[in-house]
Amino acid sequence: VYTALYALTTSLFPADYAYFGGVAGIALSAVMMLTGVTEAHYLSLVMPAAATVFAIATPKKFKSYVHSLATTDGAYSVTRTVINRNRNALMVKLARLSEGLSEMSGILADDSRVDSLPNSSEIAKEVSERCCTDCLNAKECRTALGGSSTEAVIGELTASAVYSGKASILDASPFLSSRCRKLHGVIAVTNEILSREKHAAELRAGADESRGLLRDQLSSLAEILASLASEIGEPLVYDHPKEKRLKEELNRRLISARDVYIYGDDDLCMSVKEEDAERAALAETVNAVMERKMCLADKTPTVNGLINLTYEPMPRYRVAYGDRVVAAGADGCGDKENVVRLSRGKVMIVLSDGMGHDAPAARNSRYAVSLIESFYKAGFEHRTVLRSVGGLLALRGKEEFNAVDIAVIDTFTGEVDIIKQGARESFIVRKGEVEVVECGSLPLGIVLGAEPVTYSTRLQPGEFLVMVTDGVADAIGREGLTELLSGLDTVNPDDVAEAVITDFTRLQGDNSERDDGSVIAARIF
C-alpha cells in the first residue's frame, strides 16, 4: 500500500522531472518515520526506492495522463460550462432583440399610407375660398345656385383636373363658363394647388417606400436574429474521447496542442505553436482522428507564439469556373460578375447587367453586386436581398436598372438555387443534353416588390451551369447557345466560357448597336 502511495506521489510530477519524484518519495518516507507512522528501519528505504524506480520507469504517456487528470480536466469542464452559459445568455439577448425589431417592423407597417390621388373636394374648397371670397359677383353666383356655395360647381372642374392631370377651360361646367368673371384665375389657382398636392403626394409616396424598405429589412433581420438565437440556445456537446485521442496523436508526432475542442458537426478548434501549424503531420493527424477530410477554415495568431486553428468538414465537391467579359465601349462596362464563398459549403455566382455600357452603368452594376454579396453573407434569404437592393437602387432617383442572375451552389450536396431578377436564360449541360432555365421578372430598380424567378436543381460532377448577359443571349440566340453548348467536348469551364465569348464577338462584329457581353461557366468536381 505504501509503495503504491509513493508511486502515485511521484507520478504526479511531469515526465521531465521524474527524478524529483524519487526525492519526494524519500521525503515522504522520512516524514512518516519521524511521525511514527512507520518504523525507523533501513528497510523503510525500500519503499521510496521502489517508488523512485517506478517513477523513472513509468511511461511518459501514462504520467501525462495522470497529470492531466489531476490538473486540467476540471479547468476544461469549467471552461465548457462557462461557454455554454455565455451562449445561453447571448441567446436570450438575441431573442429579445429579435422581438424588438419585429415590433418596430409592425409599427412601420401600421404607419404606412396608401397612395391616392389628391382630394378634389379639398381642392375645390380652397379654390372657392381664394377666388370667390372677394369676388364682386359672388353674391350673384350664390343666388343663382339657390344660396349654395360655389364649391359644388368648382368641384366639377377640380375633379376633372385631378383625373386628367391639369385643368383647362374645357373642364369648366356651363355654369362657370357663362357666369364666372374670374374663370381663368380659377383655372390657374386649380392647377397651382394640383401641382402642390402632386408634389406632396410624391413626397409621401417616397417616405412610404423608405418605410417599406426599412420595414422589410427589420423584419428580415429579426428573422435572422431569431434563427441565430435558436441555434446558439442549443448547448455545445463536446466529443471528449476524440479530443483526448487527437491530443495524444499530436503529442506522439511532437506537436503540442492546447485548448482542443471538438463539438457540433465535427467542428474543431485548437491552439498550436506557429511553427507546427504548417506541418503536414498536423493535417494528416486531424483527418485520421476525425475520420473524415477536414479543411482549415480560419487561423488567427495569438500570444506566446501560438496560433488558433479552426477546422470544419471538407465539402464533398469543389467549384471550378471560367468567365469572360467583353466591353462594348471604352468608357466602361455595364456587366459585373463575381464568385464568392458564403457560409459553410455555399458558393455564390452573381452576374449583373447594368443599363448601358458606360461609367455610370459600370458603377451601378458594381453597387448591385456589392450589395447582393453583403446581404447574402449576412444571412438574408434571396427574396429579401433582391427586394432590398432593388429598393435602394430605386431610391437613388435615377433610371438605372440592373438585370441580376444569381446561382448559389451547395458544395456538400451539389444542389444549386438559381435566382433571376430580369436576367436572361441560363443553361445546364448534362452529358451533351442542354436544359434551359427560363428567365422572367423585372430588373432591379424599376419597381419595388418585383418578385424574382427561382429554380432549384442538383448538379452532378462533370455537368455545367452557364450564365450569360443579354448581349450574349441576343447575339447568339437561345438555339445557337443550345447547339454550341451541346457540341462542346471539354470538362474545363474556362474552355466553355472562351467558346461562348468567341462566338459572341464574331457574331456581333462591327455592329454599331454593340452591347457588353459576359459569360460564366461553372462545374463541380
In tens, the pLDDT along 71-109 reads 445 556 667 777 888 888 888 888 898 899 888 888 887
Beta-carbon contacts of residue 166 (< 8 Å; ≥ 6 apart): 191, 194
Higher pLDDT, 205 or 405: 405
Is 124:158 a contact under the CB 8 Å cutoff? yes
Using CA atoms, how far residue 290 sits from 239, 246, 273, 312, in Å, is 11, 8, 21, 10
- What is the predicted pLDDT for the residue at 12? 52
Number of other residues whose CB lies within 10 A of the CB of residue 456: 10
Q: How far, in Å, CA of 2 to CA of 38, rounded?
A: 10
Inform me whether the pLDDT recorded for 30 exceeds 70: no
Inform me whether the pLDDT recorded for 230 exceeds 80: yes
> What mean pLDDT do residues 340-357 have?
89
Pick the range with the lowest mean pLDDT from 36-50, 233-247, 409-423: 36-50
Question: What is the DSSP track for 135-152?
Answer: -TTHHHHHHHTTT--THH
What is the residue whose three cell numbers read 485521442? 245
> What mean pLDDT do residues 207-220 have?
78
- What is the predicted pLDDT for the residue at 508? 85
- What is the predicted pLDDT for the residue at 67? 47
Q: How far, in Å, CA of 421 to CA of 350, rounded?
A: 11
Q: How far, in Å, CA of 156 to CA of 175, rounded?
A: 11
Mean pLDDT for the chain overall: 83
> What mean pLDDT do residues 16-31 have?
57
- Kindly indicate the confidence band of residue 292, based on its pLDDT and cuts at 50, 70 and 90: very high
Is 127:154 a contact under the CB 8 Å cutoff? yes
pLDDT tens for each residue of 107-153: 887 765 655 667 888 999 999 999 998 898 888 898 888 888 889 88
Inform me whether the pLDDT recorded for 495 exceeds 90: yes
Higher pLDDT, 400 or 352: 352
Cell of 65: 495522463
Q: Is 509 left (phi over 0), alpha (psi -120 to 50) or beta?
A: left
Is 48:193 a contact under the CB 8 Å cutoff? no
Q: How far, in Å, CA of 67 to CA of 76, rounded?
A: 14
